[in-house]
Amino acid sequence: MFVAIGVVVLGGAGGFYAWFTLHHKPPKVTVAAPKPILFAAVANVVVSVPDNTGDPPSAFVQFAVEFATTDPDALTAFAGVQPIIKSQIITLLMNETGASLQNAANRASLTQNCLKDANEVLAHSASYTAPRAFTAAYITNLVVQD
């Protein structure tokens, strides 16, 4: 009799386990493929700047920056307003000095200002509707020559 009760209990436990695993599968987790990172570049910007604040312009700065996005529409919008963005970057660079461009914190600020200006130009001049077209900016060339 104890054997029969043991068989019934084990059989019931096994049946419950089989029913539970068949009917209560964990939800499938789908991981979206990451979007590719796309880049828009402003290259070959050359301006003259002073070595130090208050000096006359005596150094030349060659500058390039690239903006990162995952939205192909941002690249299309960028192509139409690139001269405006380049003009904004020239204005930012002309407020720098040769000495200030040697400072890492100033370069980080310049990078963030380029990013902010590019996103603002796209929003205002290209009617780009997403919150931010570009998520990051990278200085890809910075040469200061006396």
Domain boundaries, the chain: 38-145
SS (H, E, C) the chain: CHHHHHHHHHHHHHHHHHHHHHHCCCCCCCCCCCCCCEEEEEEEEEEEEECCCCCCEEEEEEEEEEEEECCHHHHHHHHHHHHHHHHHHHHHHHCCCCCHHHCHHHHHHHHHHHHHHHHHHHHHHCCCCCCCCCCEEEEEEEEEEC
38-145 fold: Tetrahydropterin Synthase; Chain A (3.30.479)
What would you measure as the largest C-alpha separation in the chain, in angstroms?
A: 106
Q: Output the pTM of the full model.
A: 0.75
- pLDDT for the residue numbered 34: 85
Residue 62 pLDDT class (50, 70, 90 cuts) = very high
Whether the predicted pLDDT of 41 surpasses 80: yes
Contact predicate 57/96, CB 8 Å: no
